[in-house]
Amino acid sequence: MSASSAALSDAEVERRVSALLRQMTLEEKTGQLTQIFYKFIPDSATPEERIRKGEAGSYLFVTDPAEVNRLQRVAVEQSRLHIPLLMGFDVIHGFRTIFPVPLALAASWDPVLVEQVQTIAAREAHAAGIRWTFAPMVDIARDPRWGRMVEGAGEDPFLGAASARAQVRGFQGPYIGSPEHVLACVKHFAGYGAADGGRDYDSSYIPDVSLWNTYLPPFHAAVQAGVGSVMSAYMDLNDVPATGNRFLLQDVLRQSWGFRGFVVSDAFAIRDLTTHGFARDEQDAAYRALTAGIDMDMGAKSYLSNLALLVRQGRIPEAAIDNAVRPVLAAKIRLGLFEHPYVDVSRAQQILNAPEHREFARIAARRSAVLLRNQGALLPLSKNIASLAVIGPLADSQKDLQGSWSFAGDPSEVVTVLQGIRNKLPPGVSVAYAKGVEIRRRYPSMFDALQNVSPAPAPTAAEIEEQFDKAVSVARRSDLAVLVLGEHEDMSGEGASRTSLDLPGDQERLLKAVVATGKPVVLVLINGRPLDLSWAAEHVPAILEAWYPGTQGGNAIADLLFGDASPGGKLPVTWPRSAGQIPIYYAHNRTQQPETSPEFTSRYWDLPSTPLYPFGYGLSYTQFAFSNLQLRQNRVKAGERLEVSVNVENTGNRAGDEVAQLYIHQQSGSASRPVRQLKGFQRITLAPGEKKTLRFMLGQEELSYWSPQEKKWVEEPADFDLWIGPDSTATLHATFAIIP
């Protein structure tokens, strides 16, 4: 039975792997451990030459189904052992259909939605011949200056673990080789999101207690969900590069967690062990990476050039090469590549253009948006207004709504906010548009440089002022203004860290000028991180965080603005008032003078130490009440489970979604514990006046932590606080105890 119809047994896979290994030369084995960039990075040999000689086990960035077939034909029909290629691509938040970025998907607080999104992404990628995605990224990020925050699930390990599990299930399906699914690759292992100063690629210094309790849980969740591959990180972790870190790759990943898939380096990370000052030369780098636990070399060809020589020198036994090749071959076998290496090109086009995929992208964008402010119930807007101004540099930008890592998407298919609003309103409504200002990065994006993309010429000072004045005039002549502000898609992502959280360019001046007209203003944010909204939070009546919403973003935003959908997303990050508060996160420890103390004022003399918006925050067009918090028992023994229930009621006059969030605090133990920790959540839809009783279970997984004193996971006798509510400041409270 082929892998396309059912999961293969471990014994069958091992038999086939061993049979192949017995036939392979040492050079062919190192070829299987080599992944090569297709055209994106110049190569000294053609793909055909490398494939025929067995020097490439995988290629990246081949997205044309016909080209996939051509290269696979070379591998399957012209190489000695006929081993198919494993085609990889960064399918981060969609392939042809672009969904909201991962941070936005986390804001949905809806793992079922996240799984469905990645199921569609996998289906499209699979149709094009891609069998391996470099996702999910599950790095915990508590510094919004770090550009790659946009690719993860935010600051919390519990929410991050839920997102990791959902994405692995979505990409891989019930088993590796499930029809129309792909192999997932959880990244970047581990601690990449804790880079000094939020500077991409910089070193991370993480004590064991934070590593185990905060940064590793989402990776562990992905491994428990059956993820087939892991990607190492670029940075030094506590002075040892992650790509040469035996503690991470052997002690934690393989020995503690029992991971049986394969590990790939991040791009050129093996070669760059020399740049770190860790390896003395490229041969030493290949030695250190392989012996630490890296199975496949992405991009650098360091293994191809050095592993066979290291074996012949006696520094590495050939059995170590075999151990690295085994999981790579096993993945190809499980994916069914030996039986089905080719793509049905005509069917691929049908799947890539499936209208139901676009419609689900609209649903995902609606459910990911977070309503931050709605003074005077300005939203939802009436469709019967006479005139509306749509203003801002991102209001009619197709490419920017996609966000970073959307290389296979077609920007011409993106519905902009301006288009979405025009689609929504009847013909008699006047919708005027003005760009207002230009925004651009100070330095070109790394991807622009690699693809030889030149920025558009900058406008003159006179053109800038003329454009600005036009926007203010358009707002003045209209009944209401929708400003669409934020960051270009290349301002968040890899190589896109920032020193400031200000609205880039002259956007805040534009916002203030439009508000000064006296017209009602709605601010729609397109971005991949929290931004400084201190002024807007006091002066703009309505603020909708839409993130980078994807292909159907404009239609989804219009649905929300005009009440055809109700916002129900919640923040997956704590939203600072200023970059000066960073890092700021809700799950911090108490100090000798906690914020709840009557004497407490602020940790700063010039600013409150509280965030602008707390973790888990988000408004709706209706109101909800939490009541009747019940614990089935208030004393449990270690290892027992505690059932918690609460009533949630829609007390408003519109249907809406609420996310019930459960937090705990351990009052004493072998270590100080965070003031609150998320340990459960449920998103529900309630009609006006409807009430539901929700139930949560707390067990050993939720009540344990890694103790820095005990040097192990513990579930300790202690008293606990418990809260349930709409965000991390929930006030509905109960207590329970774990007893000996």
Nearest CA to 130 among 75, 73, 58?
58
| CA distance linking residue 131 with residue 123, whole number of Å | 10
User: β-strands 240-241, 236-237: how paired?
Assistant: antiparallel
- On the question of a cis peptide bond just before residue 380, with omega within 30 degrees of 0, the verdict is yes
How does 230-269 read in b/e, with b if 16+ C-beta sit within 10 Å? bbbbbbbbeeebbbbbebbbeebbbeeeebebbbbbbbbb
| CA distance linking residue 481 with residue 477, whole number of Å | 10
The length of the chain in residues reads 740
Q: Which residues contact 180 (CB under 8 A, 6 or more apart)?
A: 122, 123, 126, 127, 173
Would you give the DSSP letter of residue 181?
A: -
Helix runs in 417-552, H state only: 417-424, 446-450, 461-477, 507-515, 536-539
Would you give the DSSP letter of residue 409?
A: S
| CA distance linking residue 180 with residue 354, whole number of Å | 14
On the CB side of 62, how many CA atoms lie within 13 Å of its CA?
Answer: 25
266 among known catalytic residues: yes
- Coil, strand or helix at 98: strand
383: amino acid identity, one letter: K
| CA distance linking residue 410 with residue 361, whole number of Å | 14
CB 594 within 8 A of CB 588: no
Would you give the DSSP letter of residue 196?
A: G
CA-CA distances (angstroms) from residue 471 to 277, 379, 431, 466, 509?
53, 22, 13, 9, 12
Q: Which of 110, 139, 266, 272 is catalytic?
A: 266
Q: Is 386 exposed, middle or buried (0-12, 13-18, 19+ CB in 10 A)?
A: exposed
- Coil, strand or helix at 220: helix
CB 93 within 8 A of CB 116: no
Would you give the DSSP letter of residue 362?
A: H
Task: List, in sequence order, every residue forming a beta bridge with 626; answer none if it has no partner.
Answer: 648
If one counts every other C-beta atom within 10 angstroms of the C-beta of residue 95, the result is 30
Phi, psi of 712 (to 5 degrees): -165, 175
| CA distance linking residue 478 with residue 430, whole number of Å | 8
CB 318 within 8 A of CB 30: no
Q: Locate 650 and state its tokens.
A: 């829609």
**Cα dihedral 598, 604, 606, 608 sign:** negative
If one counts every other C-beta atom within 10 angstroms of the C-beta of residue 604, the result is 12
Kind plus residue range of the DSSP H or E element containing 679: strand 677-686
447: amino acid identity, one letter: F
| CA distance linking residue 275 with residue 300, whole number of Å | 13
Catalytic residues: 266
